[in-house]
Amino acid sequence: MRTVQSNRNVVYDCKYHVVFCPKYRRKVLVSPVNDRLKELFAEKARELEVMISSMEIMPDHVHLLIQCDPQFGIHRAVKHLK
């Protein structure tokens, strides 16, 4: 079942798949860093009023499924999350 969101101007259901990689794809996102990164992403998403639908952190990259207002822009959300 699809759920749509709206604001004053538009009705939308935008989901974006975002992948982050550390420099040279080094395997630095291991256990203690992994847990802290999840906390930071969740905190920043609340600040930006962006919803992270799913998050998977591998040792050399991060997968995020993000829902955000198209008028706010995915480029702004990615910029702040990075």
**Token pair listed for 42:** 């969740």
pLDDT digits (tens, 9 = 90+) for 36-62: 999 999 999 999 999 999 999 999 999
Rounded mean pLDDT, 11-36 = 94
Q: Is 71 helix (H, G, I), strand (E, B) or coil?
A: coil
Q: For 7-17, write each residue's pLDDT tens digit.
A: 888 899 999 99
CATH assignment, 5-81:
3.30.70.1290
SS3 sequence of 11-53: EECCEEEEEECCHHHCCCCCHHHHHHHHHHHHHHHHHHCCEEE
Average pLDDT, the chain: 93
Give the whole-angstrom CA distance, residue 34 versus residue 82. 15
pLDDT of residue 79: 95
What percent of the chain stands above pLDDT 70?
100
Task: Report pLDDT for 1.
Answer: 75
In the numeric block, the tokens 């998403």 are attached to 45
Write down the pTM of the prediction. 0.85
Q: Which secondary structure element, helix H or strand E, spans residue 65, and what is its range?
A: strand 61-67
Phi/psi for 7 (5° steps) reads -135, -160
